[in-house]
Amino acid sequence: MTITRFAPSPTGRLHVGNIRTALHNWMLAEKAGGEFILRIDDTDAARSKEEYVEAIRTDLAWLGIAADREERQSERLDRYEVAFNQLKDAGRIYPAYETQQELELKRKVLLGRGLPPIYDRGALDLTEEEREAKQAAGIEPHWRFKLDHDEAIVWEDGVRGTAKFDPKLLSDPVIRRADGSWLYMLPSTVDDVDMGVTQVLRGEDHVSNTAVQIQMFTAMDAAVPSFAHEALLVGKEGKLSKRLGSLGCDVFREKGIEPEAILALLSRLGTSLPVEPITDRAILLDTFDLSTFGRAPARFDDADLDRINTAIVHAMPYEAVKERLPEDIDQAGWHAVQPNIATVGEVAEWWRLVTGPIEQPEFADDDKAYLAEAARTLRWSDDPWSALTSALKESTGRKGKTLFLPLRQALTGMNHGPDMGELLPLIGEAEAKARLERAAK
């Protein structure tokens, strides 16, 4: 069974990059009939906030990305302690006493010599007495995972193909701080083991973490899940963008973007498949395939999202949208204004043309006479607009813009807008007549 997870740290709102990762993991599981776990990475007690946990749940619910279960790292600290002790006993975790400044200095020296800033394992050279002296002086150690230097780390990446790391070129990662708190690396691996995660899909900023974590899985005698790393999302200029980091569901919602537009875009952005306004999730799932993902950064452009959103709104059936419409809009009302809107929220603006009051322009005298004639001519039928305009064309000799524009202006107060043939029946006979008469005065 395929088990995937989305593991946000609740230190802020989800941004579009996180949403993409969540979506793809959900899709992998959904497509395989597997399980999708929401894992809250909240070991950092100082930075994690309950309001963000809530916001993550709300955002995923709004997107329609439902987790099969939720896990929290803060409730699993005992488990990490056990794994930590086992790995320590097996000689895979060691204490280190360097201060931040010492480490920084070591880095600078290496970089100054043009060497990669790899931790020199100085802590492993300490004698028992030296360690005891540190402890006696009240210096608590932080803890590092000892990488096995003997063999290259290799995996078949679902997006990047064969990935290979020389462990000697990696620093032994710090996994636990001196105050006992956890860094990301070990808890995540323990969780992936315990929760039976079979597939880890995340951003390529995690590639070197994967190399380390593969060694952790092996050190814990656990099966290594399959890994895939997606190219990062960049702004339309092709650069990592700060703005994308603050672009999330709240912003999209406010802009009137439909969740389905976000899904349609993000499920295909950065793949070889065309980005289309597809609202049928079955189609998106069917065509979702890691082998279509490219290695070049995926460019996120708001204009694409707006375009897809508009297309989706234009195709939305009344039933799907009616709860969100002004109360008195029926099927015909939705149909009349639908082609004129880019977001569902814009309906209200156009609907005011029907319900009024409207503000009419001041008309020239000949138009006033024309509109008075229109008020007298108006007859109600299935299609009052065609009847009215045909009759007026005949009686006044007007055509084109001079025939239609004063009528539209008198009836809606606007120079453009929804199809008058659809709008006039919605305005109704009495109100339409009153508007024409008012314009003629």
DSSP annotation of 267:
T
Nearer to ligand GLU by Cβ, of 270 and 277: the residue is 270
Q: How far is the CB of 414 from ligand GLU (least distance, A)?
A: 49
Q: How far is the CB of 219 from ligand GLU (least distance, A)?
A: 17
Q: How far is the CB of 41 from ligand GLU (least distance, A)?
A: 4
Q: How far is the CB of 320 from ligand GLU (least distance, A)?
A: 33
Structure tokens at 34: 């597997």
User: Any residues with CB less than 8 A from the CB of 313 and at least 6 apart, and which?
Assistant: 258, 338, 341, 342, 343, 344
Q: How far is the CB of 96 from ligand GLU (least distance, A)?
A: 23
Q: How far is the CB of 205 from ligand GLU (least distance, A)?
A: 8
Nearer to ligand GLU by Cβ, of 24 and 435: the residue is 24
Segment near ligand GLU (CB under 6 A); pick from 4-12, 76-84, 121-129, 233-241 = 4-12
* Residue 8 is a binding residue for ligand GLU (CB under 6 A): yes
Q: Residues touching ligand GLU: how many (CB under 6 A)?
A: 8
Which of 260, 316, 267 is closest to 287 using CA atoms?
A: 267
Nearer to ligand GLU by Cβ, of 41 and 260: the residue is 41
* Residue 9 is a binding residue for ligand GLU (CB under 6 A): yes
- Distance from C-alpha of 26 to C-alpha of 371, rounded to nearest angstrom: 59
Segment near ligand GLU (CB under 6 A); pick from 2-10, 153-161, 363-371, 424-432 = 2-10
Kindly write out the interface string for residues 130-169 of this chain, putting x where it contacts ligand GLU by CB under 6 A and - elsewhere.
----------------------------------------
Nearer to ligand GLU by Cβ, of 30 and 192: the residue is 192
Nearer to ligand GLU by Cβ, of 7 and 29: the residue is 7
Q: Is 242 annotated as a binding residue?
A: yes
Q: Which of residues 173-232 bind ligand GLU (CB under 6 A)?
A: 184, 188, 202, 206
Distance of CA 33 to CAs 198, 263, 284, 310, 349, Å?
13, 19, 15, 32, 43
* Residue 13 is a binding residue for ligand GLU (CB under 6 A): no
Q: How far is the CB of 27 from ligand GLU (least distance, A)?
A: 15
Closest residue to ligand GLU: CB criterion: 41
- Distance from C-alpha of 199 to C-alpha of 7, rounded to nearest angstrom: 13
HEC readout, 308-365: HHHHHHHCCCHHHHHHHCCCCCCHHHHHHHHHHCCCHHHHHHHHHHHHCCCCCCCCCH
Given candidates 7, 278, 392, 424, which one binds ligand GLU under the rule CB under 6 A? 7
Q: How far is the CB of 11 from ligand GLU (least distance, A)?
A: 9
Q: How far is the CB of 184 from ligand GLU (least distance, A)?
A: 6
- Alpha-carbon dihedral angle through residues 363, 355, 382, 337, given to the nearest 10 degrees: 90
* Residue 267 is a binding residue for ligand GLU (CB under 6 A): no
Q: Which of residues 357-386 bind ligand GLU (CB under 6 A)?
A: none
* Residue 76 is a binding residue for ligand GLU (CB under 6 A): no
HEC readout, 187-256: HHHHHHHHCCCCEEEEEHHHHHHHHHHHHHHHHCCCCCCEEEEECCEECCCCCCCCCHHHCCHHHHHHHC
Which of 22, 59, 18 is closest to 38 using CA atoms?
A: 22
Distance of CA 324 to CAs 186, 198, 201, 258, 308, Å?
46, 40, 35, 12, 20
- Distance from C-alpha of 357 to C-alpha of 74, rounded to nearest angstrom: 57
Kindly write out the interface string for residues 23-52 of this chain, putting x where it contacts ligand GLU by CB under 6 A and - elsewhere.
------------------x-----------
Q: Which residue bears the tokens 């799907």?
A: 320
Structure tokens at 323: 């709860």
Task: Summarize as ranges the residues that interact with ligand GLU (CB under 6 A).
Answer: 7-9, 41, 184, 188, 202, 206
Task: Please enumerate, by residue number, every residue annotated as part of a binding site for ATP.
Answer: 242
